[in-house]
Amino acid sequence: MNILVKAKRTSSILLLSLTVFLSQLQGQEVIITQASEVEWTHLNPKRGDLAPKAGTLWGDRNSDQPTGFLLKPSDGFESPPHIHNVSYRGVVISGLIHNDDPEAAEMWMPAGSFWTQPKGEVHITAAQGTNSLAYIEIEEGPYLVHPSEQAFDSGERPVTVDPSNIVWLTPSDLTWISQSKQSRANASAPAIAYLWGSTGPGELNGSFLKLPAGFSGTLSANSANLRAVVVKGQLTHQVNGKTNASQLAPGSYFSSTGQTEHSLTSKTETTLYLRTEGKYRVSADERSD
Encode pLDDT of 68-116 as tens digits: 999 999 999 999 999 999 999 999 999 999 999 999 998 999 999 999 9
Given a cut of 80, whether residue 21 has pLDDT beyond it is no
Query: What are the pLDDT digits (tens) for 189-210?
Result: 899 999 999 999 889 999 999 9
Same domain (yes/no): 129, 191 = no
Q: What is the mean pLDDT of residues 19-33?
A: 57
Whichever domain contains 202, its CATH number is 2.60.120.10
Same domain (yes/no): 171, 276 = yes
Taking each continuous run of H as one helix and of E as one strand, the counts in the chain are: 2, 20
**What percent of the chain is predicted at pLDDT more than 70?**
85
Same domain (yes/no): 182, 258 = yes
pLDDT for 27 equals 60
Domain housing 84: 35-163
CA-based nearest residue to 54, from 145, 154, 148, 147: 145
Same domain (yes/no): 49, 61 = yes
Same domain (yes/no): 172, 126 = no
Given a cut of 90, whether residue 45 has pLDDT beyond it is no
Same domain (yes/no): 116, 128 = yes
Q: What is the mean pLDDT of residues 216-230?
A: 92
pLDDT for 54 equals 96
pLDDT for 173 equals 83
Query: Sorting pLDDT into bands at 50, 70 and 90, what band is 223?
Result: confident
How far apart (Å, rounded) are the C-alpha atoms in residues 183 and 156?
42
How far apart (Å, rounded) are the C-alpha atoms in residues 207 and 226?
11
**Number of domains, the chain:** 2
Same domain (yes/no): 176, 270 = yes
pLDDT for 113 equals 98
Out of 141, 163, 185, a domain closes at 163
* 199 assigned to some structural domain: yes
More confident residue, 6 or 132: 132
pLDDT for 128 equals 95
What residues contact residue 27 under an 8 Å CB cut-off, 6+ apart?
Answer: 8, 257, 258
Given a cut of 50, whether residue 250 has pLDDT beyond it is yes
Out of 124, 148, 163, a domain closes at 163
How far apart (Å, rounded) are the C-alpha atoms in residues 70 and 97?
13
* Secondary structure class of 14 (helix, strand, coil): coil
* 280 assigned to some structural domain: yes
- Proportion of the chain in helix, strand, coil states, percent, rounded to 5: 10, 50, 40
Query: CA 147, 152, 155 angle in degrees (round to 5)?
Result: 140
Out of 115, 146, 163, a domain closes at 163
* 100 assigned to some structural domain: yes
Same domain (yes/no): 120, 175 = no
pLDDT for 179 equals 64
Q: Which amino acid is at 25?
A: L
Same domain (yes/no): 107, 214 = no
* 138 assigned to some structural domain: yes
* 70 assigned to some structural domain: yes
Q: What is the mean pLDDT of residues 5-13?
A: 31
* 289 assigned to some structural domain: no
Same domain (yes/no): 175, 151 = no
CA-based nearest residue to 145, from 117, 185, 169: 117
Same domain (yes/no): 187, 148 = no
